[in-house]
Chain A
Amino acid sequence: MSQSTSKGFSRREFLRGSSAAAAASSVASTAIGQDTAVAPQVVTGETSITLKINGESKTAKVEPRTTLLDMLRYQFDLTAAKPVSADGSSGASTVLVDGRPVMASSTLALSVAGKEITTCESLVDDEVPRAFVEHDAQQCGFCTPGFVVAVRAFLNQHPDATEEQILAGLNGNICRCGTYANVLQAVVSLVKGEQNG
């Protein structure tokens, strides 16, 4: 089951996305929705933003420095995305923003106002975590939700990925216990459309 549409990522979209983010971060002390066309200005203090999280409309109170990760973990108790590296180099905080994978640890909450966030918790009925279980692609499990979201995003883009593409395309996530061989088996089984669980 696909959780999002597999759109290409064009420069035009990127620019549009960033201008929306800039606009979103420009309004202080008022509710921030999407695409409010106001000139950028400095934001301080707590701000209300609205966004969609796992299909539900939510309001969050965030400061300019609040990360998407802290917002998810502390305001919504959504703790699947993990704080492993602030710069996102471990991939453990991977979530989908409008269907695309981002590192929640290095994304500011204000920049996702009006957007749609998908966290690993919402993938509970998805084939990806089922394949992870079937192929035991987890040991301690702390990196696993980030990996699951990254795999979901990867397969949305590359539903027929070759093993070579898989080996090249899933290097954003670090596992310390060493589950890569199992993750690889899980992803290969998904591409082949094998029944998992």
Chain B
Amino acid sequence: MAEVQYSWPENHKTRLLGKRVNRLDGMVKSAGTAKYTYDINLPNQLIVHALGCPHAHCRVLSVDTSAAEKVPGVVLVKHIKAPKAGEDPVEIEADGTLLVAVAAESEAAAAEGVAKLKVEYELLEPFTADDDLEAAEAKDRTRPRGGGISLDEALGEPGDDEDIEEWEEKQIEKLFADADYVVEGDYGIDAITHCCLEPHGTTLHWEGDRLKAHLSTQNVSGTDDGFAGALNLTADDVDVHCDYIGGGFGSKFQPNYWGIAAAEIAKATGRPVKFMLNREQELKVAGNRPSGFVHVKLGADESGVVQIWDSHHWGTSGFNGSTVSVNSVPYVFVPKNYRRKATGIATNNEPSVAWRAPNHPQACALTQTAYDDLAAKMQADSLDIFLRNLENIDSPEKAPLYAEQLRIAADLINWQRHWHPHGKSPRKGSVVEGLGIAIHTWGGAANDSDCRLRIHPDGGVESYCGTQDLGTGTRTVCAMVLAETLGLPVEAVKVNIGSSTFPFSGASGGSTTVGAVSESHRRAAQDALAQIFELVAKKLEVPADQLEAAGGKISVVGYSDKELTWKQACSLIGIKPLEVNSSYKRQQQGRTTNLSSSNVGGCQMAHVAVDTDTGLVKIKRMVAVQNVGLIINRKTAESQVYGALIMSIAGALFEHRINDPKTGVFVNSQMDSYRLPRLGDIGELIVHLHEPESERARGVIGLGEPPVISGCAAISNAVCNATGVRVPTLPFTPKRVLDAMRTAKG
């Protein structure tokens, strides 16, 4: 049998790929019968609640659990981060840290138990002023996070007797002196939290020495060893299961310490356990995105092309004291000459975890705002300035792609009609309007993925893959790829995902899942089909390479009378099912195959209205133009981009972590105070999937992260265009907008 060449059908020959297919699990989600980890009720289960540390920085000296243990319904009290009797005090560096867990017969009894815990704290000085570099230095909270200088070769090199640093400093000074325009500014974006609607947690039980865990995770295949390592087991002793996950966004890759505690409580009590974080704990300890603040000076030539960039950025990733990666600033635009430096600030917050497109949204908001201020200073059209600066970007080959996208987006937002110089908006009462742009980049290469495909002699098709559906529509993607390949309707294949007992598939992070499962499922289906073609070829006495699978039949191309139904073809398999195992590994097959690749670009534009009396910013329209490679399911692909736009609106106008300046406590850790946009806040959203044939030919590329990147910067730029004032720090609450306008008036 000839070796199978893995590839996608040509565009005009696809029946399902690129079409709009309803997600297969849509009805169970919409009718509420989908069972999430929180919804799994195991017989005789205990409910666990935990006490979160109420202080941002303290020492826990002791815990008196006696009153909690006496609460009717409380079964077990377990120390998590708090010291046991006789142990040394424990320093806590973030509020919300789980100190003691209470396992009880009901939610209410567990909550009462937690309320009865008596803890002795020694308060320590907190620090949470992540935007205040001077204060951080004074309190020894800064941590160097790298930096460097890159100068154009045309500037020559220092002489043998010259000091390199002095020479570089001189060159930078000269570049600024020669610049036609110099912009100096401060920009920032606050920390946000993942705020998954299903909080982190697990419902689990032991079967003898084997742990069976329902875990709210975006890493089904990789969390069994997470449990095993912490519990002194091997991964084969742990089964992780997750049919549905209520949000992850990069924060649900691990069992986490509360998951391990749940397993230990279940072991100690011999009962199943449900341990889900409460809302406050979910926001405080289960995931946040680092903040970023920058002071930047840039110099541009007379046409507005930036020739020198000089920045120092800082921010916090929590008490581990990191910040936005130094290498990501400046973002997309990389002038020929730049100097950059990053400083982490150790604050009393839980360390950050990955958030959709790590580093990119902040880097974009710290960079492309300054580029827009250049346009403001020149009173030039931002669109022209962005287009001209495409001559210096990180992937020069993408410049024509960006230029094309910017033109498409400009049409969709009616740029020509609505644009005006910064601050020159016509006024309707107290309301001004403006437009803003930003561009972004992302990798999105497929993750490793294996698939087991079984085709039964009666025609039944089932697949097994240890991937998960983060909301992307993974099940539907798997089914569409199999059905397309085998010539069957989507409903004819049974897709099984969500268990660590299935073949390995990588974590859903970095926009790697659709590429991953497309690789593994296409490979498996093509391999299986090749074997079935061999059988059919013999039966019909034709060469196997003359066969095609479509419309539930295997037929000879060009001969409508020579065909077998799918069922007839499968009956040739024999008594046992045909089983194929496929494997895609990045390391072996490479990041670029016939089926998938990486590296996309996109741009977003915002049209906003700002009420200068109240400081309220409203989105009138947002446009996303996104390069995507080959689309599997157009319906869910568009949903990803709509969602990403709404997340950008959230980060630009609503959500941020607020720490009380005196106590350091994260004060807005509930759904009413951690503000997120609601249905009436989003304006008109336009999604354009940019898919010229040259891009489609590159195969599948991840789509989750890229459209979530540039929206915040675009909104910031639009507000500046409307008001003529740069509001320095996102999100733009009404107060911040009013403060910036007052400062500008002087």
Residues of chain A whose beta carbon lies under 8 Å from any beta carbon of chain B: 63, 65-66, 70, 73-74, 77, 79-87, 89-90, 92, 119-121, 123-124, 128-130, 132-134, 136-145, 148, 166-168, 170-184, 197
Q: Pick the contact of A179: B245, B472, B642 (CB < 8 A).
A: B642
Q: Pick the contact of A174: B29, B107, B248, B676 (CB < 8 A).
A: B676
The yes or no answer to B19 lying at the interface (CB within 8 A) is no
Could you jot down 25 A-B contacts, CB within 8 Å? A70-B106, A79-B38, A82-B36, A82-B38, A85-B279, A87-B671, A92-B197, A119-B32, A121-B33, A124-B27, A124-B33, A129-B27, A129-B30, A133-B30, A138-B29, A138-B30, A139-B472, A141-B34, A142-B244, A148-B32, A167-B680, A178-B645, A178-B647, A179-B639, A182-B639
B28 CB → nearest A CB, Å:
8
Assembled-state Cα–Cα distance A168/B39 (Å): 31
Q: What is the chain B residue whose CB lies nearest that of A92? A: B197
Q: What is the chain A residue whose CB lies nearest that of B196? A: A176
Q: Pick the contact of B471: A74, A121, A177 (CB < 8 A).
A: A177
A145 to B32, Cβ gap below 8 A? yes
The yes or no answer to B195 lying at the interface (CB within 8 A) is yes
B196 contacts across to A, CB distance below 8 A? 142, 176
Interface 1/0 per residue, B441-453 and A, CB below 8 Å: 0000000000000
Q: Pick the contact of B197: A77, A79, A132, A143 (CB < 8 A).
A: A143
B244 to A140, Cβ gap below 8 A? yes
The yes or no answer to B116 lying at the interface (CB within 8 A) is no
> Given A85-B671, A121-B33, A139-B471, A63–B678 Cβ distance below 8 Å?
no
B198 to A80, Cβ gap below 8 A? no
The yes or no answer to B138 lying at the interface (CB within 8 A) is no
Q: Pick the contact of A144: B30, B647, B677 (CB < 8 A).
A: B30
B38 to A180, Cβ gap below 8 A? no
A183 contacts across to B, CB distance below 8 A? 679
A123 to B679, Cβ gap below 8 A? no
Residues of chain B whose beta carbon lies under 8 Å from any beta carbon of chain A: 22-23, 25-27, 29-36, 38-39, 41, 106-108, 195-198, 244-249, 276, 278-279, 470-472, 635-636, 638-640, 642-647, 650, 670-672, 676-680, 682, 685
B197 contacts across to A, CB distance below 8 A? 82, 84, 90, 92, 140, 142-143, 174-176
Assembled-state Cα–Cα distance A143/B196 (Å): 10
Assembled-state Cα–Cα distance A123/B465 (Å): 31
A171 contacts across to B, CB distance below 8 A? 678-680
A136 contacts across to B, CB distance below 8 A? 22-23, 26, 635-636, 638-639
A180 CB → nearest B CB, Å:
5
Assembled-state Cα–Cα distance A16/B561 (Å): 75
B678 to A177, Cβ gap below 8 A? no
B246 contacts across to A, CB distance below 8 A? 82, 140-142
Assembled-state Cα–Cα distance A197/B22 (Å): 9
A74 to B106, Cβ gap below 8 A? yes
Q: What is the chain B residue whose CB lies nearest that of A132? A: B30
B53 CB → nearest A CB, Å:
20
Q: With a 10 A CB-CB cut-off, give which of A130, A168, A181 has the most chain B CB atoms.
A: A181
Q: What is the chain A residue whose CB lies nearest that of B36? A: A142
Q: Pick the contact of B679: A86, A141, A180 (CB < 8 A).
A: A180
Q: Return the 9 tightest CB-CB contacts between A and B, nearest first.
A: A80-B32, A142-B246, A178-B646, A178-B643, A145-B32, A141-B29, A139-B471, A120-B32, A79-B39
A140 to B247, Cβ gap below 8 A? yes
Q: What is the chain B residue whose CB lies nearest that of A86? A: B279
A85 to B33, Cβ gap below 8 A? no
B26 contacts across to A, CB distance below 8 A? 132-133, 136, 138
B670 to A89, Cβ gap below 8 A? yes
A148 contacts across to B, CB distance below 8 A? 30-32
B472 contacts across to A, CB distance below 8 A? 139
> Given A129-B30, A129-B31, A134-B22, A140–B470 Cβ distance below 8 Å?
yes
Q: What is the chain B residue whose CB lies nearest that of A70? A: B107
B34 contacts across to A, CB distance below 8 A? 141
> Given A133-B23, A139-B643, A83–B247 Cβ distance below 8 Å?
no
B279 to A121, Cβ gap below 8 A? no
> Given A140-B198, A173-B678, A176-B195, A120–B279 Cβ distance below 8 Å?
no
Q: Pick the contact of A180: B30, B106, B678 (CB < 8 A).
A: B678
A90 contacts across to B, CB distance below 8 A? 197, 671
Assembled-state Cα–Cα distance A184/B646 (Å): 13
> Given A120-B31, A177-B643, A141–B244 Cβ distance below 8 Å?
yes
B645 contacts across to A, CB distance below 8 A? 178, 181
> Given A170-B679, A178-B643, A180-B677, A73–B108 Cβ distance below 8 Å?
no
Assembled-state Cα–Cα distance A79/B203 (Å): 14
Assembled-state Cα–Cα distance A168/B680 (Å): 6
Q: What is the chain B residue whose CB lies nearest that of A134? A: B22
B741 CB → nearest A CB, Å:
27
B672 to A85, Cβ gap below 8 A? yes
Q: What is the chain A residue whose CB lies nearest that of B47? A: A74
A144 to B29, Cβ gap below 8 A? yes
Q: What is the chain B residue whose CB lies nearest that of A85? A: B671
> Given A70-B107, A142-B36, A180-B679, A123–B31 Cβ distance below 8 Å?
yes
